[in-house]
Amino acid sequence: MTTRPHHPSSAPMSPTLHAYSNHALLGHKLALLRDRRTQPARFGQLLKEISLMLLSYATADLPVREVPVITPVGPTTQRVLAKRVGFAPILRAGAGMIPAAHELVPGAPIWYLGLYRDEETLRPVRYYDKLQGYPPVDIALILDPMLATGGSAVMAASRLKEKGVETVTFVGLIAAPEGVALLAREHPDVDVYVAAVDERLNERGYIVPGLGDAGDRQNATGADDPTDEPFVPEMA
């Protein structure tokens, strides 16, 4: 049987999981992203490119309605989005997915959520949340490259539902089986779109093989940033 690369692999671990592990181009970009020698500027570009592809899959089945359109050749009807869509990037790493969201749905509200993981407990800590008074949306897509223990995604989904969002979707790059399972247990209605599901978490809660710390790799703040390659600034 041939696999259709634009279709997610069947994933017995959760009916809400859409993992595009067999997609050739996504795989190639993910290889570059995982490579420890990839420098922050290139990492950011790749994150945007992969996010564009995944967001296009995650928005394929959004509710639509028909509107009349007159083309230069004549009248027709066309389906357009029927619901208000917004994005909820989880800081810091999710910020790198915002350019893709802006490009795909220009003008959509962006609800920043500041969460970091306590290094000891691995539990998420909320440090920035300005959802109060934001324009309501019907559908929110959480943006975060990494679904590790799943704690951050669960907290983000709960917060968005508290604000009255009807449909919450998670879009990330790499998930651990543990995170997929926790999110499915706590929020069985949240669909998850990722480029890959990796093997496991290590003792520090990092995804193996993963790509390291997604926030540090974008922002050049990691203690173990690659030093065995000369750092060539991309721009003077």
Residues of this chain that interact with ligand PRP (CB under 6 A) are 90-93, 115-117, 122, 124, 144, 146-153, 179, 205, 213-215
Distance CA 232, CA 236 (A): 10
By a kind-dependent CB cut-off of 5 to 8 A, residue 210 interacts, out of ligand URA, ligand PRP, none, with: ligand URA
Task: Decide if 33 contacts 45 (C-beta within 8 A).
Answer: no
Least Å distance between CB 204 and ligand URA? 8
Least Å distance between CB 153 and ligand URA? 11
By a kind-dependent CB cut-off of 5 to 8 A, residue 159 interacts, out of ligand URA, ligand PRP, none, with: none
Least Å distance between CB 72 and ligand URA? 49
By a kind-dependent CB cut-off of 5 to 8 A, residue 206 interacts, out of ligand URA, ligand PRP, none, with: ligand URA
By a kind-dependent CB cut-off of 5 to 8 A, residue 124 interacts, out of ligand PRP, ligand URA, none, with: ligand PRP
Query: Amino acid letter at 36?
Result: R
Distance CA 49, CA 133 (A): 32
Tell me how many helices (H) and strands (E) the chain has. Answer: 6, 14
**Burial of 210 by CB count in 10 Å (0-12 exposed, 13-18 middle, 19+ buried)?**
buried
Task: Decide if 55 contacts 171 (C-beta within 8 A).
Answer: yes
